[in-house]
Amino acid sequence: MEKLKHYLAMDMGAESGRGMMGTLIDGKLELHEVHRFQTGATSIPTMYDHTAKKPGRSDRSYVWDFVRFWSDVKVSIQKASKKVSLSSIGVDTWGVDFALLDENGLLLSTPFHYRDTRTDGMMEKAFERMPRKEIYEITGIQFMQLNTLYQLLSMVLQDDSLLRITDKLLMVPDLLNYWLTGKAVAEFTDATTTQIFDTRKGEWSQKIIAAMGFSECIFPEVVMPGTVLGPLRASLSEELGADFQVIAPPTHDTASAVAAVPAKNDDYIWISSGTWSIVGMNSPEPIINEFSYEHNLTNEGGARGDYRFSKNVMGLWLVQQCRRKWKKEGNDFTYSELTDLARKAPAFYTLIDPDYSGFLKVGDMVEQIHAYCQLTDQPIPQNHGEVIRAILQGLALRYRFVIERLERVSGRHVTNIHIVGGGTKNTLLNQFTADATGKKVITGPIEATATGNLITQAIAVGDVINWQEGVSVICNSFEINVYHPKNMVAWDKAYMRFKDNMKKVTLAF
C-alpha cells in the first residue's frame, strides 16, 4: 500500500488566509482546510502634520497585522501536525508588500498595505530619477503606484528613520519563511513584482537601486521556486511539536495559482480570479518591447523559472467592497445571493470598467460606482443586482480588452481560457467571460493557489518527479467545468460602448 504524503500550504490573500493540507495518494492530491483566519487592511493613526503637505503623508496608515498572521500560521502548523506527519510547508501571499528587519533580525514596523496613500504621486517622483521607459526596459513590470518601488521611494523622500537602521528588506512571504527557518532570502516570483528586479539578468537592478537612493545591501539573495530552505528553527520546532522541511513555492500567489492550470502545454490564456484578476499567458522569456510598454503589460516570474506575461485587472475587489458596505447597512448578502441578484438584473444597463482609478482605494465602492456612471454619462444602477451585474459585465469586457493586447504583442492567438482560483465559483462571471471574449472557458481548480503551492512542495521533496507529472496529478484530482460563448453580437455592441467609456476616464494602471 502506498504511503500517504502530507504537505501544508499557508495560502494568504487580501481577505483571508488559511492552512491547506494536501495529501498525495495514488496519483491524486486531496485537500483539507485545517485553519482559516481573516487578513485584510488595518488602519492605524499617525502623527503626521497635514500642514507640512509632504508626499504620501496622512493622519492614518493602512497596514497588515503580521504579528497576528504569524500566530495563525503557528496554529495551522499545530492543527495539521496533530493529525499527520508533515513532509513540508510552503507559504504564498500577495505581491509588492514588504517588511524591514534590523541587524538583529527584528521586525522594525508593521508592513504597509499596498493600498495605503503613501504612494500617491510617487510614480512621478520616480520618473524624475529614472525615465519611465528605462525602468520598464529593465524590469518589464507594469506601472502601478502600489509597486514596491514606489512604496520604498516614499520612505526615501520622507527621510524615514527606519531606513537608517534597516539591515534587510523581505517581501511578506519571505518574512514568514524567515520566521520559520531563520533564512533571509527573496523568492524569485515575488521578487519580480517589486519593479526593482532586472528580469533579463535575473537579479536586483543595481541601476534602479542607485537611481532611487535605496541601500543595495538590504536586498537579499534571490532563490528559485522549489528551493528547500531548511528545517524549522529548533526553538519553533520545540514550541509547535513539529519537524519538517520549509519549501519556497512560487510565493507570489498568482504564480502558484497559474502553476495549477490543468493543461499540458502553454497554448492558452489564464485568468487567476479573486480579489485581483490577473490575465496572462506563459512565456519562456520576458516580453519587453514598445507595444508591451505602451499597454503597460507585465512580466512576473513563473513557477518554472519562466514568465507570466500578463496584466492586472481590479477583479472581485469591487464586489467585496460593495458587499462590505451593504453589510454595514444591514444587508448581509452571501456572494451567491449577490450573483443571483445580478443574474436577474437587465443586461448591459450600465457598464463598469473595473480599472477606473477611483476603484483602487479603500472606501465607499457604491458611491464610487455612482460617480463613475455620472462621469461616463450612464444610468446609475438602482439596486444591488444592477450594481453587481454592472461590475461582472465590466470585468468580462476588461478581460477581452487585455486578452486582445496580449495576443497581439505575443503573436499568439488562443482559443481557450483557463480560469483558476476562488473567482471560478462565480458561474455568471465565467459565462460572461466566454461571451465577451468568444473563447471557450475552462474553470478549475478552485483552490488553485494552494494546489500550485502543494505540488511544488511535492516536487521539491521528491514525491512527484517533475512538473509534467505534477500536471497529471492536478488533472486527476479536481473537477473542471466548461463554458461556451453565447450571444456574441450583443456582447460585441457592449464592447464598443465599453471602449467609448474608457476614453472618458483615468485608469488606475
**What's the half-sphere exposure (Cβ side, CA atoms, 13 Å) at 342?**
26
Type of residue numbered 435: D
Alpha-carbon Rg for the chain in angstroms: 22
Cα torsion through 24, 36, 231, 104, rounded to 10: 160
- What b/e readout covers 446-460, taking b as 16+ CB neighbours within 10 angstroms? bbbbbbbbbbbbbbb
Q: How far is CA 141 from CA 149, 300, 381, 398, 461, in A?
A: 11, 7, 35, 19, 32
Count CB neighbours of 126 within 10 A: 25
Contacts of 431 (CB under 8 A, 6+ apart): 441, 483, 486
Helices (H) and strands (E) in the chain, counts: 18, 21
Contacts of 334 (CB under 8 A, 6+ apart): none
- From residue 254, give the alpha-carbon distance in Å to each of 309, 335, 362, 368: 12, 22, 22, 27
C-alpha–C-alpha distance, residues 198 and 208, integer Å: 9
- Please report the beta strands in 256-411, taking only residues with DSSP state E, as ranges in sequence order: 269-273, 277-283, 298-301, 307-313
**Nearest CA among 417, 411, 478 for reference residue 445:** 478
65 is known as an active-site residue: no
Residue with cell 455592441: 493
- Say if CB 174 and CB 234 are below 8 A apart: no
User: Quick one: cell of 397?
Assistant: 469586457
Please give the backbone phi and psi of residue 164, each rounded to the nearest 5 degrees, phi first. -75, -20
> What values do phi and psi take at 99, rounded to 5?
-125, 155
Q: Which residues contact 248 (CB under 8 A, 6 or more apart)?
A: 90, 177, 185, 187, 223, 224, 225, 226, 227, 229
Grid cell 498572521 in the structure block, residue: 69
Q: Where are the beta strands (DSSP E) in 194-243?
A: 197-198, 203-204, 222-223, 227-231
Residue pair 130/99 in contact (Cβ under 8 Å)? The answer is no
Cα–Cα distance, 282 to 467 (Å, whole number)? 14
Which residue of the set 253, 353, 355, 435 is catalytic?
Answer: 253
Q: Which residues are catalytic?
A: 253
